[in-house]
Amino acid sequence: MVVITSSIYNRIGNCKVDGEIKGLGTRLALFAGVTNLDSNPFFKVIFIVNDKFSFNAKFNESGHGRIITWNMLFKRTSGKPLGLRSKMLDFSINPNEKISINGTMNKYSISYLISGNKVSEQTSKFAKENIDILVRETQLELLIDSLEFCGANENLIDSIKKEFGKTRGEYNNQKLEYAIKNPNLEVSALFLGVQDKDTIIKYLPTLNDNVLSTENGRELKKRFLLYKQTEAGNTAPNIIESGLFNLASLKGKYVVLDFWGTWCGFCIKGFPKMRDYYSKYHAKVEFVGIACKDKKSVWTKCIKDEGLQWTQLLNGVDNNDFAKKYNIECFPTKVLIDKEGKIIKIFEGESNDFYEKLDNLIQE
């Protein structure tokens, strides 16, 4: 009865996924899927028998999937499970497609190729060709975990963290090189999409028009247009909170938009300096905090606890997505606006560059 029930269950859905990953064995696995449009995840338990699997999934729009098993996970020194991308089995899929996944699982990686979906074919080929970088990244992350657990010398840990950062950067650079060399492949839009803002602005115009017309290309182009709108010298997109705030009405003063969140450690850590600068310059500069991805109750408590006296807005209220208008991808991010309502510069992360710039403006 269990066999019959599971067989029927695995056949529900308009997309089919077949595969064989040598080394997986026989076990239960979790399939996690998400569509590109609604971004609502769904899950399904699947069965792997002697390294092989075959199941159906329902995708009404294009989306992404991931297969997860316990033996794909690493273990922290504490014994807790840890998922690292060298052993992630990911794929893209469109409605009514059939894809096939074949590869081998090793100690530190899964090396595999996919057929049946163009983006999946291209991403799996790239990952297979660059698997050595991912393996090195995994080994360094496990080493860092072990050293931190054992209380090793901080200088040693910091040096390995720097090496880890360089390795992640190397993988990202390989993606960029691939996108530059292959402007006619859809995956190039995907690979360019993980780069920083300036890189996207520089290289998006080099992509083939057919690539930019794909779903990944269209999404990247939207970001590109937002980036262009918020370049230095452009008029800052207006922010209106019904009856409470209107950015356009603040001409004649410098304005600082601080995008933050109660869940963001670096944001909270930076508040003492923000309080100092508010006290110093609030007669000449309008400070505006915009909390993102927060619940109102947590947000209001944080404002009180941290003594934030400047204007505070909650992003997303009444469908006002202020962060989207400025394409905020990093927290904290500070936007400095001149007296004419034009963007001077956008500062990502917590650094002294923003405060030095503000000092120079006021002193001038």
Domain assignments of the chain as residue spans, ordered by start = 2-116, 182-229, 240-363
From 7-21, 25-39, 42-56, 236-250, the region with the lowest mean pLDDT: 7-21
Where in 23-80 does DSSP place strands (E)?
27-35, 41-48, 52-57, 63-68, 74-75
Whether residue 59 has pLDDT greater than 90: no
Position 319 confidence tier, pLDDT thresholds 50, 70, 90: low
Q: Which residue has the tokens 């839009």?
A: 189
Q: Mean of the per-residue pLDDT values for the chain?
A: 91
Position 2 confidence tier, pLDDT thresholds 50, 70, 90: very low
| pLDDT at 327 (0 to 100) | 85
The backbone torsions φ and ψ at residue 42, rounded to the nearest 5 degrees and listed phi first, read -140, 160
Distances in Å between the Cα of 142 and the Cα atoms of 5, 33, 215, 346 are 40, 27, 36, 35
Which helix (H) or strand (E) element contains residue 105? Answer: strand 98-105
Q: What is the mean pLDDT of residues 83-99?
A: 93
Q: Which residue has the tokens 């520089």?
A: 202
Contacts for 315-318 with beta carbons within 8 Å, 24 or more apart? Answer: 315/259, 315/290, 315/291, 316/292, 317/241, 318/241, 318/242
From 35-44, 133-142, 263-272, the region with the lowest mean pLDDT: 35-44
Instruction: Return the CATH fold of 240-363.
Output: Glutaredoxin (3.40.30)
CB atoms near residue 222 (< 10 Å) = 11
Q: Which residue has the tokens 């001409």?
A: 251
| pLDDT at 324 (0 to 100) | 86
For domain 2-116, the CATH architecture is Sandwich (2.60)
Position 350 confidence tier, pLDDT thresholds 50, 70, 90: confident
Q: Given strand 311-314, what is the order of strands in its sheet? A: 311-314, 285-291, 254-260, 333-337, 343-348
Cα–Cα distance, 162 to 157 (Å, whole number): 9
| pLDDT at 131 (0 to 100) | 96
